[in-house]
Structure 1
Amino acid sequence: MYVVLRPESAPDRAVEEKQAPDSGKEGKKRKTRHGGDEKGQADGGNEGGHGKEVINEIVHSLSEKSAHCSPFSSLQEVNVEEKPLLRLIVMGKKSLPDPAKHGRPFWGYVDLVTTDIEDVKDALKGAEYDTATRGKRHQSAARAMGEGVYRIVKHEGRGGRPHTHLVYKLELPSRGEGAVGEPQEAMNVEPEASFLVQIKNPEQRGGGRGGGGGGGFGGLQGKRKAAFPEHLQGRFGSNRYAPADPPDLLNYEGCELLLISASDDVEEELGLELQTETEEETGEGAGDGGEGGRAWAGCSDLVKMFGEVADVKPLLSGSWD
């Protein structure tokens, strides 16, 4: 299962810091577009995102030089009011956590971080590839399950220990047209939900909560892990996991995370009411599944961005067909 997160600006946070644009899969795709030796392309695509503490070399993605930045730049700042920042997350269990099974962790990792929509389109397309043991394999194109708004919020539990929640609320499928249709039910995509989100320390060995016990896989190996800059790596200390604070931790390919189901009622749990764009524009809930819901589908960012490479029927109708 893929989850695409696109940060939007908050009053105190318009700029996001991300991995060096020449590292990881993003770097490989940049080399492919702008030229580069084949060996460099192959090697770069198998490594996680990297960042270094060289502040005077930060590339500001709003300036024209961002398209021609040095291949040895360290970090990149992205003003999300002016340019999209996309995180493609892969969930190991091929679904979101079951909201009825609180406390059960699901493992995932950040597969791609980019400011180029075409990079994500390429990742969502169907493809054929060769394997050493199984020969030629086919990967089907992605199918869109839901679109909505999300926030990453800090919260203190009863013990006073801070943690972070990833909360979301769907805009599509609209509730009047069956937000929890067969595809959404199969993938545990609720109309709204809250998950505890924890980031795995890449300098700690694998195993533990993200490995067995239904969490997914045992973790990424070697160079595929994220290499955080010092100020982010320091957030872990000697701990195996840390909250997603700051959310910049998710802006590095190879960042491993756990999602733990917390609630399907965000307002009751956190006292936070997420408002979708449809609700802001109409003053009504997203449950208007009539003409208003269909009209909003025509304005869908997901359809505009990825509709040509991903099947959007489950998104628009709440059904496979």
Structure 2
Amino acid sequence: MGQGKEVKTRDEPNVHTQERGEIYFFYRPKVDKEEAHSADDVQKLYIVLRPESGDRCTEEKQAPDSGKEGAKRAKHDHDVKGSRPDKEGEGGHGSQEVNIKKEPLLRFIVMGKKSLPDPGKKSRPYWGFVEMLTTRIEDIKDALKGVEYDTATKGHRHTSPARALGEGVYQILKHNTGRKTHTHLIYKLEFPPEGEQNEPQESLNVEREASFIIQIKNPDQHAGSSQFRHAGSSQFRGLKSKRKAVFPAHLQGQFGQLRYSEADPPDFLNYEGCEFLLVAASDDIEEELGLELKTEGELSDASCSDLLRTFGETASASPLLKGTWV
């Protein structure tokens, strides 16, 4: 699928690409539902970002023994050595460098609402967070699978596997408007192919292309303040303190006393528990930013899908290939 190369359509020297890669969208039906037939049947919207290039070939990420990443490694060590520290409830912390040209870096993101902001309309910001950061594709596959569990009040429950919703290329870029600088997350879909139906994509505001301003939440600021609590949901109160990211000093220092920072560098997103806001900017990237994201053109063959090659049949592909609910 490539890395989302861009073509400038007008002189716009104040746009600088920081990172480019592949973007995948998934949805999961509500608990005990085998299928989804509308947005009302959807429980969660997930985004997976896989950076493939940027200002440098290495990215700074959380230490491999922190967060869910550390919990999964600890479980493996327990199976081998009989020792299993409990790390799954904590956020990402520490530091490690990863060469993204030699091994995958995967961000598993959960959106607080079961849709993206409508990129063609002005609305309140939508909140999301990095649920998992990993270099292991199997970890993402596990997160997309269905789950069986028991509860004290409702007995046995079942969540269906996630469905593959969209696949494309993305960029995180810095935009200087002359008055201030902010960062954008922009993307363009390759799947579903042009001409196919797109009912689930339209219902969840996953347009063929879109631009969002992305702001990183300062984990040291209280999440209970009214401005952030009402960002996309009147009930949002942020992650619990233990689950919040603990950024290295040079990243945390960028906030100062501010509640939000630009996603500059994108390394902020390499820590589990990183909270962010997406603000609708445009559904026409060329008109807004003077550049066009280039994909590999019109695709229709499932064998061309990087999502399916990477994650296999873990997630049903009918929404991805045909644009239909399942």
Q: Verify the 8 A CA contact 2:171 2:187 in the aligned structure 1.
A: yes
Shift of 1:141: 1.0
Q: Verify the 8 A CA contact 1:106 1:210 in the aligned structure 2.
A: no
Q: Root-mean-square deviation (CA), in Å?
A: 1.7
Shift of 1:32: 1.5
Partner of 1:243: 262
Which gives a bigger RCO, structure 1 or 2 (Cα 8 Å, sep 6+)?
A: 2
Q: Verify the 8 A CA contact 2:161 2:314 in the aligned structure 1.
A: yes
Q: Verify the 8 A CA contact 1:24 1:253 in the aligned structure 2.
A: yes
Q: Does 1:191 align with 2:208?
A: yes
Q: Deviations over 1:6-30 (max 9, x none)?
A: 00113x3111110000100000111
Equivalence map 1:6-155=2 (5 Å):
6-10=50-54, 12-35=55-78, 40=85, 43-51=86-94, 75-131=95-151, 133-155=153-175
Q: Verify the 8 A CA contact 2:145 2:314 in the aligned structure 1.
A: yes
Q: Deviations over 1:61-93 (max 9, x none)?
A: xxxxxxxxxxxxxx2211111111000000010
Cα distance between partner residues in 2 of 1:249 and 1:131 = 35
Shift of 1:305: 1.8
Shift of 1:211: 1.9
Partner of 2:49: 5
Q: TM-score, normalised by structure 2?
A: 0.81
Partner of 1:70: none
Moved more, 257-266 or 29-38: 29-38
Shift of 1:139: 2.0
Q: Which amino acid aligns with 2:275?
A: E
Q: Verify the 8 A CA contact 1:86 1:115 in the aligned structure 2.
A: yes
Q: Does 1:320 align with 2:299?
A: no
Shift of 1:133: 4.9
Q: Which amino acid aligns with 1:108?
A: G
SS of match in other structure, 1:253: coil
Q: Does 1:168 align with 2:187?
A: yes
SS of match in other structure, 2:200: helix
The 1:310/1:228 distance shift into structure 2, 3 A limit, reads same
Cα distance between partner residues in 2 of 1:310 and 1:228 = 32
Shift of 1:168: 0.1
The 1:25/1:302 distance shift into structure 2, 3 A limit, reads same
Moved more, 124-133 or 103-112: 124-133
SS of match in other structure, 2:258: coil
Shift of 1:161: 1.2
Partner of 1:271: 290
Q: Does 1:205 align with 2:212?
A: no
Cα distance between partner residues in 2 of 1:238 and 1:155 = 22
Greater per-residue helix proportion:
1
In structure 2, stretches of 5+ residues that fail to align are: 1-44
Q: Which amino acid aligns with 1:294?
A: S
How many positions carry a matched residue from both structures? 278
Greater per-residue strand proportion:
2
Q: Verify the 8 A CA contact 1:9 1:80 in the aligned structure 2.
A: yes
Shift of 1:138: 2.1
In structure 1, stretches of 5+ residues that fail to align are: 52-74, 280-285, 287-292
Partner of 2:16: none
Q: Verify the 8 A CA contact 1:146 1:172 in the aligned structure 2.
A: yes
Q: Verify the 8 A CA contact 1:125 1:140 in the aligned structure 2.
A: yes
Shift of 1:213: 5.4
2:274 to 241, 255, 267: 255
SS of match in other structure, 1:46: coil
SS of match in other structure, 1:294: coil
Q: Verify the 8 A CA contact 2:77 2:83 in the aligned structure 1.
A: no
Q: Which amino acid aligns with 1:199?
A: I
Q: Which amino acid aligns with 1:186?
A: S
The 1:38/1:186 distance shift into structure 2, 3 A limit, reads farther
Shift of 1:221: 0.7
Shift of 1:33: 2.0
